[in-house]
Amino acid sequence: MSPDAATAASIATAEGAGPHQTDVTIIGAGPCGLFAVFELGLLDLKCHLIDILDRPGGQCAELYPEKPIYDIPAVPVCTGQELTDRLMEQIAPFSPVFHLSQMAEKLEKLEDGTWRLTTDTGTVIDSKVIVIAAGGGSFVPKKPPIPGIDAYEGTSVFYAVRKMEQFRDRKLVIAGGGDSALDWVLNLQPLAESVTLVHRRDEFRAAPDSVNKMRALVAEKKMTLEIAQISGLQGENGQLTDVVFKDKDRGEWSVPCDMLLPFYGLTMKLGPVAEFGLNLEQNLIPVDTERFETSTPGIFAIGDINTYPGKLKLILSGFHEAALMSQAAVRIVYPDRKIRFQYTTSSTDLQNKLGVA
C-alpha cells in the first residue's frame, strides 16, 4: 500500500466529465495549489484542482515524500508527505474537488467571460478564475537522450502503457529497475513474443516480490535480463528493428526489438500551459506582486511557476502569493461584494467556515 493511501481515502474526486461549475480552477495540487484552496475558501470561493499525478502533493509527493523540509514557518521539520497530509487536513472544510492523473490541456474564454478548461482526459471545468500553481510543470516520463529516439516515439517507443494489446506478439525491450519497469515486465511477458529487461546493474529498487517473479521467469528462460545500458536504436520509418546495448566487458551488441519501453522515472515539463497565450519568460509566468495575476486578467500564477523581481522559489513564498491572489480573485467572482479583512483567531464567520466555531 502506498504511504498516501490514508490521504487518498479522503480525496473527493469528480464524477463525470462535466462541464463542472466552480469559482476557481487550480492547475496543480502541490503545496501552493492546496493552500490556495484554504485562502480562497475563507473568502467563500469553491475550488477544483487538476494534477497530472495520481495524488495531491506535487513535488512534495513525487520527489521527496520522505525528505525533511526545515523552512516551513513554525514547523521546524516535516517531510514532504507530512506537509501534504497537513495541508489536506487544513483544506478539508472547503471540500475541494480533485481531478487527478490528468493534464490541463486547453483553455478558452466563453462569451460570458467564464474560463473553460479542458484536460487531456476530457474533463471540462468552467470557472471565473484560473490559478496556475503548476510548479516546475507536469511530471512526465523522462525521455532517454538516445540519438534518434524521437523518430520512434509513439510507434516503437512508449513511455507508458495505455493498451496492453498493442504489445501482443511483439519483441519487447523494457528498460529500468524500478516498479514501473518490473510491473510491465510481469504484465506484458505472458502476451509478448519476447521480453528483454535491461538495467544497468543487477540490483533493483522495485518491490522484492516483483524482482523475485522476474528472476523466476529468467530462470525458466521465459524472458531475458541484460545488465547493460542502451546506447543506440536501429530501424527505419519509425519502426524499431534492434536496440543496441553496451557494457564495459562486452562492448556493444544489438538485440532484436519491435517496441521499447523506457522507465527512467519522471521529469517536469511546462506542457500545454505554454499554449495558454500567457507571456512567458524562460518557461516561467511573469506576474505582478500585488495580485499575482498574469498578463491575462482572471488568470493568476503562484508558486514556483511564476516570476517577478526578487522571486524566491520557496513554499512559504507560494503561500503568501496564494493569500494575496485570493483577495484579487474574490473581487472577480463577487465584484459587488464588500470584502472585509478578517482573522481566523477572532472572526466567528471564518470559524464557522472552518467548522470550529
- The residues of the shown chain that bind another protein, judged by CB under 8 A, are 59, 63-64, 67, 136, 142-146, 176-178, 199-201, 203, 205, 229, 231, 248, 264-265, 267-268
Please, what is the minimum distance in Å from the beta carbon of residue 204 to another protein?
A: 8
Please, what is the minimum distance in Å from the beta carbon of residue 82 to another protein?
A: 15
- Nearer CB in complex with another protein: 59/123: 59
The torsion angles phi and psi of 81, rounded to 5 degrees, stand at -70, -40
Q: Residue 81 and residue 79: Cα distance in Å, rounded?
A: 5
Q: Residue 352 and residue 184: Cα distance in Å, rounded?
A: 49
Of 154, 159, 157, 158, nearest to 140 by C-alpha is 159
* Residues in a beta bridge with 252: 246
Provide CB contacts within 8 A for 283, sequence distance 6+.
137, 270, 274
Please, what is the minimum distance in Å from the beta carbon of residue 32 to another protein?
A: 15
- Nearer CB in complex with another protein: 77/357: 77
Q: Are 203 and 287 in contact (CB under 8 A)?
A: no
- Nearer CB in complex with another protein: 248/338: 248
- Nearer CB in complex with another protein: 145/208: 145
- Nearer CB in complex with another protein: 69/350: 69
- Nearer CB in complex with another protein: 239/267: 267
- Nearer CB in complex with another protein: 91/284: 284
- Nearer CB in complex with another protein: 143/320: 143
Please, what is the minimum distance in Å from the beta carbon of residue 46 to another protein?
A: 33
Q: Residue 93 and residue 6: Cα distance in Å, rounded?
A: 17
Q: Residue 186 and residue 200: Cα distance in Å, rounded?
A: 19
Of 76, 80, 46, nearest to 315 by C-alpha is 80
